[in-house]
Amino acid sequence: MLYIGVDLGTSACKFLLVDETGKVCNQVSREYPLSMPHTGWSEQDPSSWWQACLDGIPALLEGFDPAQVQGIGMGGQMHGLVALDAADKVLRPAILWNDGRTARQTDYLNKEIGRETLSKYTGNIAFAGFTAPKILWMKENEPELYAAIAKIMLPKDYLVYRMTGVHATDYSDASGMLLLDVEHKCWSKEMCEICGVKEEWLAHLYESWQFVGTLKPDAAAALGLPESVKVCAGAGDNAAAAVGTGTVGKGHCNISLGTSGTVFISSEKFGVDATNGLHAFAHADGGWHLMGCMLSAASCNKWWMDDILKVTDKDYPAEQAPITRDKLGRNKVFFLPYLMGERSPINDTDARGTLIGLSMDTTRADITQAVLEGVAFAIRDSVETARSIGVEIPRSNICGGGAKSPLWCTIMANVLGIPLDILVTEQGPGYGGALLAMVCCGKYATVQEATNALVHVSRTIEPDAELTALYEERYQKFKQIYPTCKPLFKELAK
């Protein structure tokens, strides 16, 4: 039997064909454009996501028997606002997770409604990327379109709808809307009232592995699949990636170095840190998780390599080669990785990338090293927030495009002071989606059972005591830079 995992990303949709042993039999990707009509805005046309499915899934199935496909599971970019009218037509381009237009609405929610009130109703405070501030923005700036809303969906849920005709969402993805009572796993009537959201606009809630529907006849024909294929609710990209890396159950951690960076800590119990610096979300395994999300992680390195250094043929390893082990922990240059503002744990849309410590003897490699270290230090900020409430993180998985760099993994292990496990199969949210589909179809009884059977560690990067001590000293200096620059960031944003 075969299962399809879908990873609906910001720049592309990736499709995996996975057999029942967990082997990835085939994979394809379809890119689509990202629109930035104004500074700080980020939008996409949802029809481009569906077109990616129409192109990608038939290509994925070439050389395979479509009749063997049992189920489809989604992992997708979170927080995006997809607004539909009464005829289920998209009202406007989706406002994405990394869109920064809602600073005023976010301030209103956090300051006038109040952080304590928001945390009481949802377990979280407002961040500019969340869905609820986007609804308020639409209400204030596009009243005619707001008045036409009949359904509010998240990106991956729009694909589930196009496949099944069902308006569905899962608890993990819904947690990032600021409309869900995360602890009790139900829509918050209070938050709906605050944000002017009618509860009938919201999708039916499911656990991530639960069956939503089979393929509609027209969708099945267009995708080249049998109508009997089951579609589960799926999960937000980070929860799906956590399933794909076996970060389920009690006290497991996964660090992802993708376009954004995340620290994902699974838990069997609901919990919130005192400052709400971390997100307290439901997990795709039926439990909960704490998550720190930084908006620019591997994208910082991509920006430095592609846009600034103009590296040819994307030869990033050649740029990192001069950064030998004797240079680790001794760099005099620091980098704040806030190229698009920052979410966890500082929640500051005005924060910006900063290089400090430059001198006449600073080299190209020094700055490259500072970029890698800056991201690692910012990841540690979220780890320290979790540790502040008694969460123990003795080790972690590491995944994402940035984790393909042995140097970056070494830096990360020593900045955090913990072993980092690299997995045999690391395919991100798409692999997690495929595992959820297996559970949906009855191949495994639980998500934990699926990950125990199919997710395995390839190798482990151990921290070095000497390097860890050097990076501890560097991290304490890094921690002073943002508070010092924060007033200036606010002035520069005016």
Model pLDDT for residues 185-242, shown as the tens digit of each residue? 999 999 999 999 999 999 999 999 999 999 999 999 999 999 999 999 999 998 999 9
In this prediction, residues 435-446 reach a mean pLDDT of 98
Which residues on neighbouring strands pair with residue 409, listed in sequence order?
none
Residues 460, 420 contacting (CB under 8 angstroms) = yes
Which residues, in sequence order, are CB contacts of 397 under 8 Å at separation 6+? 245, 246, 247, 252, 253, 254, 255, 420, 421, 422, 423
Which residues, in sequence order, are CB contacts of 106 under 8 Å at separation 6+? 126, 127, 128, 130, 133, 349
Task: Give tens-digit pLDDT for 269-284.
Answer: 898 888 888 999 999 9
Residues 1, 21 contacting (CB under 8 angstroms) = no
Query: Where exactly are the structural domains of the chain?
Result: 2-245, 293-422+464-492
Class of domain 2-245 as given by CATH: alpha beta
From 237, 285, 350, 366, active-site residue: 237
Which residues on neighbouring strands pair with residue 253, listed in sequence order?
265
| Amino acid symbol at 247 | T
Task: Give tens-digit pLDDT for 103-150.
Answer: 999 999 999 999 999 999 999 999 889 999 999 999 999 999 999 999
Confirm whether 2-245 and 293-422+464-492 share one CATH topology.
Answer: yes
Provide, rounded to the nearest whole percent, the portion of the chain with pLDDT above 90: 89
Q: Per the annotation, does 252 bind a ligand?
A: no
In this prediction, residues 60-88 reach a mean pLDDT of 98
Which residue is listed with tokens 């620290």?
A: 263
In this prediction, residues 436-464 reach a mean pLDDT of 97
Pair of tokens at residue 352: 């910006």
pLDDT at residue 271, as a whole number: 85
Task: Give tens-digit pLDDT for 322-353.
Answer: 999 999 999 999 999 999 899 899 988 899 99
Residues 470, 104 contacting (CB under 8 angstroms) = no
Q: What does the buried/exposed string (b/e) look like for 427-458 if buried means 16 or more CB atoms within 10 Å of the residue's CB?
A: bbbbbbbbbbbbbbbebbeebbebbeebbeee
Catalytic, 237? Answer yes
Q: Per the annotation, does 79 bind a ligand?
A: yes
Confidence of residue 455 (pLDDT cuts 50, 70, 90): very high
Residues 393, 418 contacting (CB under 8 angstroms) = yes
CATH architecture of 293-422+464-492: 2-Layer Sandwich (3.30)
| Amino acid symbol at 273 | D
pLDDT at 452 over 90: yes
